[in-house]
Structure formats: C-alpha cells, structure tokens
Amino acid sequence: MCDYIPLSVPNLKGNELSYVTNAVEEEWVSTGGKYIDIFEKNISNYLNVESAVACQSGTAALHLSLIQCRVGFEDEVIVPTLTFIAAVNPVKYCGAYPIFMDCDDSLTLDAIKLKEFCEEQCSFINGILINKKSSRKIKAIIVVHVFGNLANMEKIMDIAKRYNLKVVEDATEALGSYFKDGLYKDKFAGTIGDFGAYSFNGNKIITTGGGGLIIAKEIDDLNKIKYLSKQAKDDEIYYLHGEIGFNYRMTNLQAALGVAQLEKLEDFIQIKNDNYGLYKELLNEVEGVRLLDFNENIRSNCWFYSLILEEVNIDRNQIIKKLSQNKIQTRPIWGLIHQQNPYVEAQTYKIEKASYYYDKVINIPCSSNLKKNNIIKVVETIKNILLKQER
C-alpha cells in the first residue's frame, strides 16, 4: 500500500526489535523485568520528575489517579466534553458523576467557564465544593491537553487551589509538550497538576503497543498507585493483599518497546513540528480552511494536526469521504461525550464552542514517517476537493 497515507501510525525503526528480542531471550515477558525499571527511570528523567509508574494503558493511569484523588461513590468530577471518552469513563469506574465543560479556541478546557461554574453554580462550604444542582461534592478536575496543545494551567490550577479540587492532567496526547514561559516555564504536560496520565497506545507519539504511565506531585500517592496497580499485594510469598487492587502493571515486553521509543521521542517531536510548519505554509494558500494553532507560549509535541473548515461549501463528512477515495485517511474530531449514550443524562455547563468545532475539525495525516510529498499530496487533494465544490 505504498501510496496510502494513514492518519497516524507507529514508527519503530530504532532499537525496538533488539530490546524486545532481548526481553524474550531473557524470558522476562510479564510484569517484572529490567525494562520496566529502565523505562520508568528514563521517562522520569525526561520529564524532570522524581519517579513514575508504568501501567497497562492511559485509561488505567487515569483510573488509578482518580482513585488516589479519593473520588468515590456519588462524588463529582469536572471533565471536558471535547475529548476521547477514555478521559471520562474512569469517573464512572469510581462510581462518580462527570460534569461536562466546554472548550476554548485551543480545544482544551475553558478556564473562564470553569471559574464561572465554580463561582455561580456551586457553594464552597468548609473547604468542600458542592454542586448546587445535585448537592454532590466535586472532588477533581480532569484537564486534557488535546492534540499536544496545553490547557491554560495557570488559571486552572488557581481555580483548583481556591476550591480545593484535585487536578488530573490527561497528558496522553501531549508527552513532550511544555511551557516556554510563565509560572510553569519548562514544566512538561502532566507535571503540573496533582497527577499526570500518559498513554503509549499505537497512535500516540510514542507507543508500547498499549500502555500508560502515571506521575504524581506527592511521592506517597505515587507509591500507593504502584501498589494498587500490582493487585495491592502486601506479601509476595504468602499472597496477602491489603486492599482491592488492579492488574494494571505494564509488562516488560511493553516497556522494552517503550525504552526504544523514548530514545526517539525528541526526533519525532522535531519531525512533527517541521511537518506541521510545512502543512501550515501550504494550507495558507487554500481558501476557507486553516490549521489549528498550538498555543504561543508552549513547545508543543505537535501530535495531531487539526484542519478547521471555516468557510467551505462542503460538508465535513463529504471531505473525509473524498480524501479516503484518494487514499488519504483522515477523521472527524470525537463525538462530544455529553451526547454519547452513557452520558446523555449528565450535567453540562454552557457547551457552545465544543459543538461549533465538532462540525469543523478534520484531523489530517500526522505520522512521524510522513514524507514531504505525502504532505503536498494531502494539501493538493484538499484544495481540489474544495475547488470542485465551488464550481
């Protein structure tokens, strides 16, 4: 399939095969082994944090983070509606309820509406934020750094501090993005809130096949998370368990892939930034569309590129279909979570921009092995589809 251009595929041309082969040869394939330790250590160094816990998926990372936020039965958690559903489902795993927030023009959580909601729709009594409508306690905020952009963490952390809310950063799409100035200068996505969750699913900037990682501001929280991820085992020999744990630990095979992928992360980010720049330049010449900007004060990992259909006479799905006929894989942005079957009853707050962007965003090919002529073909094809429509 030489001329098929996929949306986002892994790039495994470094030491992946050699490390995985070594793990197999040494017969350490399960949840113990040297690569897990190396992976955790190397990624901690990269992120400038004390330590990290590798787990089975980004979803598991978010679940364990929420548990350690003490989100429990009948509590509430503020979440974005414009995200992948895995950012929200763990709220329900905890027996809690999501409250859906809007996004701003960066597609990340709208900090102004968040503040407004806490001020006007809640009461703050004895250090506890109570949702007036449901009378339930609000315990945490899940912030998603959508497509490698960074949410407005200064404002969000401010609000969280004022109302005693825990912050879980869903940095599954933003490994390597960091602030270039401001209060959080040089801080990476995921290292600012109380917890940071990462994913190494096949489409993410680096992959372990499937996998995740958790970091925490408090080392005690992180140790507890590690314990829970390994079935809460108190005694290795007698199999004594202090709590209900989970089978969430990463395997050595996954970690072997991860160690090799991490060696390439900065290269991938450079390529993705360069490709984004080329797309941006070429798409400037195409009328009616633009490429979504990454915030100015950040170094983004430029994970996913979002084409915004501003003034076009053709429906989003038609464009996707025509691109597909030209062997170019694109996709619409996620269905808004508050409109999905499990969440139609959930509370929402002034969702406007998310609905606006829902119809207007197409994610275009962004793999790190994309060639210059692939990018030119994608832009030319988009241009032709739009031109034909005008006639």
Ligand X SMILES: *Cc1c(COP(=O)(O)O)cnc(C)c1O
Give least dist CB 332 to ligand X, A.
15
Residue among 156 and 286 whose Cβ is closer to ligand X: 156
Tokens encoding 224: 């507890």
Residue among 82 and 382 whose Cβ is closer to ligand X: 82
Q: Which of 74, 70, 68 is nearest to 53 (CA)?
A: 68
Q: How far apart are CA 233 and CA 265, in angstroms?
A: 34
Are 281 and 238 contacting, i.e. CB atoms less than 8 angstroms apart? no
Are 245 and 228 contacting, i.e. CB atoms less than 8 angstroms apart? yes
- What residue type is assigned to position 87 of the chain? A
Give least dist CB 351 to ligand X, A.
17
Give least dist CB 245 to ligand X, A.
19
Residue among 283 and 337 whose Cβ is closer to ligand X: 337
Residue among 307 and 337 whose Cβ is closer to ligand X: 337
Residue among 40 and 170 whose Cβ is closer to ligand X: 170
Q: Which of 210, 202, 252 is nearest to 38 (CA)?
A: 252
Give least dist CB 307 to ligand X, A.
18
Contacts of 215 by beta carbon, 8 Å cutoff, 6+ apart: 44, 47, 49, 51, 52, 53, 190, 191, 195, 196, 198, 222
Give SS3 for 279: helix
Q: What is the DSSP string of 227-275?
A: HHHBTTEEETTTTEESS---B-BPPHHHHHHHHHHHHHHHHHHHHHHHH
Q: Which of 374, 332, 342, 363 is nearest to 98 (CA)?
A: 342
Give least dist CB 146 to ligand X, A.
7
Q: Is the dihedral of CA 249, 73, 142, 11 positive or negative?
A: positive
Give least dist CB 84 to ligand X, A.
4
Residue among 179 and 248 whose Cβ is closer to ligand X: 248
Contact set with ligand X (CB under 6 A): 57-59, 83-84, 86-87, 144, 170, 172-173, 199, 201, 212
- What residue type is assigned to position 96 of the chain? A
Residue among 141 and 283 whose Cβ is closer to ligand X: 141
Q: How far apart are CA 258 and CA 210, in angstroms?
A: 10
Residue 319: other Cβ atoms inside 10 A: 22
Are 204 and 175 contacting, i.e. CB atoms less than 8 angstroms apart? yes
3-state SS of 300-344? CCCCCEEEEECCCCCCHHHHHHHHHHCCECCEECCCCHHHCHHHC
Residue among 91 and 386 whose Cβ is closer to ligand X: 91
Give least dist CB 211 to ligand X, A.
7
Q: How far apart are CA 197 and CA 53, in angstroms?
A: 10
Residue among 62 and 312 whose Cβ is closer to ligand X: 62
Give least dist CB 167 to ligand X, A.
15
Shortest Cβ contact with ligand X: which residue? 58
Give least dist CB 87 to ligand X, A.
4
Residue among 199 and 261 whose Cβ is closer to ligand X: 199
Give least dist CB 58 to ligand X, A.
2
Tokens encoding 312: 């076009």
